[in-house]
Amino acid sequence: MNSLLSSEKRKALGFIAAVFLLVGATAASILFGLQNFDFVTVIQAYTSYIGSDEQLIIRTSRVPRALTAAVIGSSLAIAGVLLQAMTRNPLASPSILGVNAGAALAIVSMLYWYGAVFSFSQLMWFGFIGAGITAGLIFIIAMIGKGGMTPLKLILTGSALASFASSLNSLFMLISNATLEGALYWLTGSVSNSSMVHTLQMLPYFIAAWIIAWSMSRSLNVMSMGDDVATGLGQRTMWTKVLTIVVVVVLAGGSVALAGPISFVGIMIPHISRWLIGNDHRWLLPYSAVLGGAFLLLADLLSRFLLVAKEVPVGVTTAILGVPFVVLLVRRKALGQY
């Protein structure tokens, strides 16, 4: 595959540029919004805290929000890379395969049955379990029948499961009189109410998943060539696949527990990274992580300005940005086989 940056040196330089983009996006996300701040105010909020309104906004709203957006963007992008490598399907991603919707369903249904009695770490585990069950279901259903797990079967199964899960979600929310805000939150993801505590609680799991993903990059390179080649080269494909799914489940389930189902990050970012640096997962994973974080930060920034005096959930912005991209992708690529 021809990529934009071919030599190792250029890839490294490109990576540094991407990191700068991420840092810039983080700074912009903290500084701009309904109220604009300057750097001095932000630094003072942490060095000489006096409890003024501005410092409060920075410490309790802007910084947690930026951190959460960056972490979730990276996680969803990595999950997308893993799913695309494993299924060898350019359209695979946690939202299209319904994993996000399944995680949301698990959390919403537990909230419905037991009320708001759970701590965040319990919700987090519900998210993991929901994502795990959905992922399992999709792969099992898609493997039945002639031809095995074709890309088309995976995607249509995923979209049917996602609409199944989200209609159950609406059912639970409507019969439990949940607040409207809650309803919108679980239908489209948002990072506007992120709390620092929750994000920090989730961070160790995410970091572990990132490291495992990156350490698997050689196996992923082999796996994306197909099962036959991988087995021929002496890889234990089953073991790699199981590990991949576990990592995806942690990343997607955790993201949903933090911010609700956010779509299209996991599908766009891997493709953009692949276009930049090709198919080598040792580079692809870090690039996707950095670009995914930057993308979600910028999308979140944009969603603060889409409506006057109100905020749009970031999931709406990513969907609006992502759809033209996926349409192009379907027209150019996914249809090779059809």
Partner 1 sequence: MVSIKWKRENSSDHHGRTLVSLTIVSLIALLVVTTLLSVGLGSLYIPILDVLKAIIGVGEDKYELIVMQLRLPRVVAALLVGAAMAISGTILQALIRNPLASPDLMGTTSGATAAVVAAITIMNGEISVGWLPLAALLGGCLASTLTYVLAWKNGSSPLRMAMIGVVVSSAMGALTIYFTLAGPLHMVSQALGWMAGTVYGTSWNHVLYLTPWVVGCAAIAFFQSRNLNVLELGDSIATGVGMKVERKRFLFIALSVILASSAVGIAGGISFVGLMAPHMARKLVGNNNRVILLVSAILGAFFVLLADLVGRTVFVPMDVPAGIFTALLGAPFFIYLLFKQVNRV
Q: Interface with partner 1 by CB under 8 A: which residues?
A: 91, 96, 141, 144-147, 150, 152-153, 155-157, 159-161, 163-164, 167-168, 170-171, 174-175, 177, 180, 183-184, 187-188, 263, 306-307, 310-313, 315-316, 319-320, 323, 326-327, 330-331, 334-335, 338
By C-beta, is 284 or 316 nearer to partner 1? Answer: 316
Q: Which is nearer to partner 1, 64 or 260 (CB)?
A: 260
**Residues 8, 5: Cα–Cα separation, whole Å:** 8
**Which of 220, 209, 206 lies closest to 87, judged by CA?**
220
* Nearer of residues 13 and 144 to partner 1, judged by Cβ: 144
> Cα(50)–Cα(192) distance, rounded to whole angstroms?
24
DSSP reduced 3-state for 36: coil
Q: How far is the CB of 244 from partner 1 (least distance, A)?
A: 24
Nearer of residues 171 and 197 to partner 1, judged by Cβ: 171
Contact 261, 188 (CB under 8 A): yes
DSSP symbol at 307: B
For the bound state, the minimum distance from the C-beta of residue 337 to partner 1, rounded and expressed in Å, comes to: 9
Which amino acid makes up residue 139?
F
Least gap, CB of 80 to partner 1 (angstroms): 15
Q: How far is the CB of 137 from partner 1 (least distance, A)?
A: 10
262: left (phi over 0), alpha (psi -120 to 50) or beta: beta
Q: How far apart are CA 256 and CA 106, in angstroms?
A: 10
Closest distance between partner 1 and the C-beta of residue 303, in Å? 10
Using the minimum distance from each CB to partner 1, give the nearer residue, 61 or 166: 166
Tokens of 35: 């109220």
